[in-house]
Structure 1
Amino acid sequence: MSGLFSLQLVWSAIKAAATFGVWVTIFLVCIFGWFALDLPDADQAFQATRRPTVTILASDGSVFATRGDLYGLPFHLRDLPVALPNAVISTEDRRFRSHFGIDPFGIVRAAWANIKAGRIVQGGSTLTQQAAKNLFLTPEQSYKRKIQEIILAFWMERKFTKDQILTIYLNRVYFGAGTYGVDAAARRYFGKSITEVTTYEAALLAGLLKAPSRYNPIASPIAAAKRTRQVLLNMVAAGYLTDAEVNAIIRRPIRRYRPPAVNGRYFADWVLQRLGDYVTVGKHDLVVRTTLDPGLQRVAERYLSGGLSNSGKIVKAGQGALVTMTRDGAVQALVGGRSHAESPFNRATQATRQPGSAFKPFVYLAALEAGYKPSSPVDDLPIEIDGWKPRNFNGRYRGRISLSEALAISSNAAAARIGQEIGFGKIASVAARLGVPGNISPRPSLTLGTHDMSLIDLTAAYAPFANGGTAAWPFGILQIENDRGVVLFNRVGSGLGRVVDAEDAASMSHMLSGVIKNGTGRAAALARPAAGKTGTSQNHRDAWFIGYTADLITGVWVGNDNGAPMEKVTGGGLPAHIWRNFMSDAHAGMRARELAGIDGARPIRLRNSAHTQKKPLAKRDENDFVEQFLGFLSSLN
């Protein structure tokens, strides 16, 4: 009787267990079915999903920058060095060849290690799970994503061979620095194809998978070396290498790859910011052809960095910027700071500062258009305008001087007096016409450059002086095409045509050349005709030099990001020296040419511009009046 009772108990337990198992199975099927409902489309997932790559070309066709995700050439497992998959398997998933998509032993091992450490130190995902995650899922950390990852891992194990899964994984996994796949990583970190990597380099790549940024061999070579050694030891533990082989590998001298110096990163940032103005950046890769001159860019970076590192330290000038462009506004070099790696903020295009006396050319152009001439007299004497009392920089006044002399010595009193006589609104209008952006307030202090603006805009606003009167907005993009070779944008024309009378432009060049010959810009003198203007803001917070030759227009700014005053730095000091050094090098081997409209003869007077006015006789120079009167008397004889 007891035996029958025992059988009944066993049978009841079996039925209960079976019932429980059925319900658990139903529950798991429902759970997996529920999470499988919104799994991504497998066919679409195998198509590379990435940010479009923008390749930026210099004017000579060379590539100097790329942005977006970088994928290398796809390689089958059989074409890769055998050390690479061995290094990955021994470090990431040692039972890859035997498990069915998930590794229960690996999960238990990782859980125990995490419990002992009191934090997450190991992961239990197999290579199949990682491949599924990379192909189909987002980086989101959730139970739902984890369950979907397991479902997809099962599906991949049924659909593909182990070699195929490993091939998919190695061609799609992220290796840091914007690279996806082993070939892209090999080219970024070693400068060669994945088929050429050594066992040590294969171990280094495998080590990156845990933390690509932390073990980046270029940024963190010591951490990368330690991680690589650990991967090599893992390969010994997995039976892929012997201790003797690892010791031989480690003893070999390691050639550290140094990527080619990247110039023009500030320029590339500026171009990318403007890309949306010309095309819609969609899913296709783009090739952008630009105006950048690689040689000039290297020279610009060298002289700006050198100037700030040497003299800049002494005078407490922590930052600087340099822009150079052709007379039609094509930017050929742009440096937005001393180091893009330390600070990508672009001080040439994003920072707006008071230009100080570098704004005065617009004041003097307004005077020329109002009837003055370079030889017209103006009083360099103390002046008060509605309680505002501008002082000359050196505190000295010269009395009555010519406009040319007033601009050369950068007289504040003379500039303010000109503004009072011709109207501050006239000056604001002239500045806006030449390309000075923003709401220019026609206040008296405008004559001394209190309107904030960027270096690139101020440099471009000098273009009409340099080219004989034509507006030139700064540009860097020549052509944009997609990955199919279809041209999406092609630059034609530039600027808004003539904005300054040709004679007035020539007169401005005459006066601005005097700044360099015998004025505040003498430190910028070149062995060829040049013109320019110094600028210093209040308390020496900003120092500028903007100048040009017959070939290039270049602007230099130095200062500090926090607006801290420098040690008596003026536009005629450090900025002028940087400008001269750069321009001397930039013009090496070029024939010296006279400035536009200046050829030794009196410039031809053109009066076709709607922006010019007939000059009243009251403003003409006294010498001209005497010459005309004597001529009249001669005609009577």
Structure 2
Amino acid sequence: MKKELDGYVIYCKDSDRETPLGVVSDSYDCQALSDYIPTRLKNFLVEIEDKRFYSHKGIDFKGVSRAIVENLKAGRIVQGGSTISQQLARNIIRDTRKTVTRKLKETIKAIQIEKQFSKDEILNLYFNNVYFGKNIWGLRTAGLYYFGKEVKKLTQTELLYLLTILRGPNYYKKRPEITQKRYNTINNILLERKLISKSRFQKNINSKLTISETQLSSFKNAAIPFITNRIDDKKKTIVSSIDYKTQDFARKFVAESKYPVSIIALRKGKIVGFASSYGTDYPFISKSNVGSTLKPFLYCHLRENGISEFEKFDAFNNNLDWEVREVGYYKSQLNIQEALFYSNNNSFVNATSKVGFETNLKFLSDIFNKPATDFFPSSVLGATKSGISLYELALAYSNYFNPTRLTDTKTECLSILNKVFHEKLGLKIENAFLKTGTTNENKERYAVLGNADLVYAVLRNENDFNDQSKEGSFMKQISRSISSMLKTDKNFVWI
């Protein structure tokens, strides 16, 4: 069943204007729906592609006969003979194989379409389903992709260009001279058949087209509630919280990674960018244990519940006799600040045990707005009953370390995480923080970092085939990429 928001166009903020970002679709295809198709464009299409459109019932036998004769004369296929209804059927079926079976399916579907819809409805369906190259389907998507415009704002010259590339968008895009020749041919036909005036003909000839090829993405329905500021059902648009620059960065971060990664960025609790190797819904629906990324919250809670900054805890063993994995060797005793810096599990288990697990787990359930039953003693090490999504992790950091609600303890925590940022990334950026975490057997690696303006959460999934350098290459990718988005700004002061 078609979902309610399928085909809606998502807009984001780009400086002072709204820019099309993508289309709601649970597949890779971008297909924006439009209730408005210009009448003149429909008339142009009929004249160019199917002159007997209003008289046939899906199959133009005269057109087929003519095509056979012309193809025999030429010794190759020069005419197809397909009606608009057949072309629509082909686009709906999404089968471009040149087989008898496909042609039969297309013919049957075309006849069904003719019985079910009026001629005008068929033309509307055609322009909402026609292929325009890459993963672009439908006139509205094409207008946004090629010209950055909604259908109502497209000029006649721009509409004529889209009509020109209909028969083979990927072919024509690579061959501008052939495209110009076909454009001129169509323009001449429309003049000869009096569908355009001489002045309009001349304007079409003289007009200079600017092709933008705007980057458009498919956004799955599951992601939409998290990024929506406003929905306009009449215009079929969604105004999102996404910032164009941040979204472009997130998309490139994933595209350029040789490992499967997901990334999400929040500003004041609002999502301003996100992307994933596994689809746009992955940062929201995929949940896992998040390892040591919970330690900063526990640190603050422990400090506010009687744990002194000088008190030492066993770093090699814990009083619960748990076998826990440590990432390195330290002094046998660590205070809680050192334990956070080195991400020492044993020290945190011992400190939490002293304060009481119950109060710490209740604290975590409040931070993540989850039932207390989702948390148990091993949650101190990042494990939860139902897991935590990348979005939930980023949101927790964004809310808890909100610059307007900082306490002395939170500032103290951030100063330690600033040292972690310097140590792991090799970057001297003040007022920036970093906390990493891994799940059992390093199946997932997390990094949460940011400043007082932005919070990023990054997840790198295991890839046994080419995963040789473990966390090192993960940190290098973050250091190369995200650091450029965290430049020091005097307004972003934490510590």
TM over 0.5: yes
Post-superposition offset of 1:433: 0.6
Amino acid at match of 1:353: S
Q: Does 1:442 align with 2:442?
A: no
SS at match of 2:11: strand
Q: Does 1:430 align with 2:394?
A: no
Amino acid at match of 1:325: R
Work out whether residues 55 and 66 of structure 1, in 8 Å CA contact, stay in contact via their aligned partners in 2: yes
SS at match of 1:594: coil
What corresponds to 1:625 in structure 2? none
1:323-378 CA-to-partner distances (Å, cap 9, x unmatched) read 2322xx122x322236xxxx534443333333221121233234234321333322
Post-superposition offset of 1:168: 9.2
Q: How do residues 207-356 of structure 1 correspond to structure 2 at under 5 angstroms?
A: 208=166, 215-217=168-170, 221-222=173-174, 257-262=211-216, 265=217, 272-274=224-226, 284-302=234-252, 304-305=253-254, 309=256, 313=258, 317-326=259-268, 329-331=269-271, 333-337=272-276, 344-356=279-291
Amino acid at match of 2:394: T
SS at match of 2:296: helix
1:161-211 CA-to-partner distances (Å, cap 9, x unmatched) read xxxx8x994896443334348xx756644668765539xx95872562x6x
Could you say if the C-alpha distance between residues 360 and 169 of structure 1 is closer, same or farther in structure 2, counting changes exceeding 3 Å?
closer
Q: Does 1:93 align with 2:50?
A: yes
Distance 2:115 2:398 in 1: 64
Work out whether residues 515 and 532 of structure 1, in 8 Å CA contact, stay in contact via their aligned partners in 2: yes
Specify which structure has the higher proportion of strand: 2
Amino acid at match of 1:197: T
What corresponds to 1:466 in structure 2? 401
What corresponds to 1:593 in structure 2? 493
Could you say if the C-alpha distance between residues 216 and 428 of structure 1 is closer, same or farther in structure 2, counting changes exceeding 3 Å?
farther
What corresponds to 1:69 in structure 2? 33
**TM, length-normalised to structure 1:** 0.54
Distance 1:365 1:382 in 2: 22
What corresponds to 1:542 in structure 2? 444
Could you say if the C-alpha distance between residues 566 and 113 of structure 1 is closer, same or farther in structure 2, counting changes exceeding 3 Å?
farther
Post-superposition offset of 1:537: 3.0
Work out whether residues 403 and 452 of structure 2, in 8 Å CA contact, stay in contact via their aligned partners in 1: no
Work out whether residues 425 and 475 of structure 2, in 8 Å CA contact, stay in contact via their aligned partners in 1: yes
Q: How do residues 161-176 of structure 1 correspond to structure 2 at under 5 angstroms?
A: 169=123, 173-174=127-128, 175-176=130-131
SS at match of 1:433: helix
Distance 2:115 2:286 in 1: 51
Work out whether residues 559 and 566 of structure 1, in 8 Å CA contact, stay in contact via their aligned partners in 2: no
Distance 1:97 1:362 in 2: 69
Work out whether residues 291 and 439 of structure 2, in 8 Å CA contact, stay in contact via their aligned partners in 1: yes
Work out whether residues 263 and 283 of structure 2, in 8 Å CA contact, stay in contact via their aligned partners in 1: yes
Post-superposition offset of 1:393: 0.9
Work out whether residues 285 and 389 of structure 2, in 8 Å CA contact, stay in contact via their aligned partners in 1: yes
Post-superposition offset of 1:411: 1.1
Distance 2:400 2:356 in 1: 22
SS at match of 2:368: coil
RMSD over aligned CA atoms reads: 5.4
**TM, length-normalised to structure 2:** 0.67
Q: Which has the larger radius of gyration?
A: 1
Q: Percent same amino acid among aligned pairs? A: 18
Could you say if the C-alpha distance between residues 562 and 591 of structure 1 is closer, same or farther in structure 2, counting changes exceeding 3 Å?
same
Distance 2:325 2:109 in 1: 72
Distance 2:452 2:112 in 1: 69
Post-superposition offset of 1:510: 0.8
Post-superposition offset of 1:456: 1.8
Work out whether residues 365 and 430 of structure 1, in 8 Å CA contact, stay in contact via their aligned partners in 2: no
Amino acid at match of 1:381: F
Could you say if the C-alpha distance between residues 191 and 384 of structure 1 is closer, same or farther in structure 2, counting changes exceeding 3 Å?
closer
Q: Does 1:205 align with 2:145?
A: no
Q: Which residue, 340, 350, 353 being the options, matches 1:420?
A: 353
Distance 1:195 1:577 in 2: 43
Post-superposition offset of 1:455: 1.9
Amino acid at match of 1:58: K
Distance 1:180 1:360 in 2: 51
What corresponds to 2:323 in structure 1? 389
Distance 2:273 2:144 in 1: 28
Distance 1:171 1:143 in 2: 17
Distance 1:408 1:101 in 2: 71
What corresponds to 1:581 in structure 2? 484
Work out whether residues 437 and 445 of structure 2, in 8 Å CA contact, stay in contact via their aligned partners in 1: yes
Work out whether residues 536 and 543 of structure 1, in 8 Å CA contact, stay in contact via their aligned partners in 2: yes
Q: Which residue, 388, 393, 404 being the options, matches 2:337?
A: 404
Post-superposition offset of 1:108: 5.0
Q: How do residues 487-636 of structure 1 correspond to structure 2 at under 5 angstroms?
A: 505-517=407-419, 521-523=423-425, 525-560=427-462, 567-569=469-471, 574-575=477-478, 578-584=481-487, 587=488, 590-595=490-495
Q: How do residues 180-199 of structure 1 correspond to structure 2 at under 5 angstroms?
A: 180=139, 185=142, 188-189=145-146, 196-197=156-157
Could you say if the C-alpha distance between residues 225 and 352 of structure 1 is closer, same or farther in structure 2, counting changes exceeding 3 Å?
farther
Could you say if the C-alpha distance between residues 66 and 260 of structure 1 is closer, same or farther in structure 2, counting changes exceeding 3 Å?
closer
Q: Which residue, 48, 56, 63 being the options, matches 2:11?
A: 56
What corresponds to 1:179 in structure 2? 138
Could you say if the C-alpha distance between residues 178 and 515 of structure 1 is closer, same or farther in structure 2, counting changes exceeding 3 Å?
same
List gaps (5 residues or longer) in structure 2: 24-31, 72-78, 95-104, 194-207
Distance 1:518 1:186 in 2: 47
Post-superposition offset of 1:259: 1.4
What corresponds to 1:105 in structure 2? 62
Work out whether residues 379 and 399 of structure 1, in 8 Å CA contact, stay in contact via their aligned partners in 2: yes
Could you say if the C-alpha distance between residues 99 and 550 of structure 1 is closer, same or farther in structure 2, counting changes exceeding 3 Å?
closer
What corresponds to 1:373 in structure 2? 308
Distance 1:257 1:355 in 2: 44
Work out whether residues 51 and 283 of structure 1, in 8 Å CA contact, stay in contact via their aligned partners in 2: no
What corresponds to 1:602 in structure 2? none
Distance 1:420 1:197 in 2: 73
Distance 1:435 1:572 in 2: 26
Could you say if the C-alpha distance between residues 94 and 301 of structure 1 is closer, same or farther in structure 2, counting changes exceeding 3 Å?
closer
Distance 2:283 2:113 in 1: 49
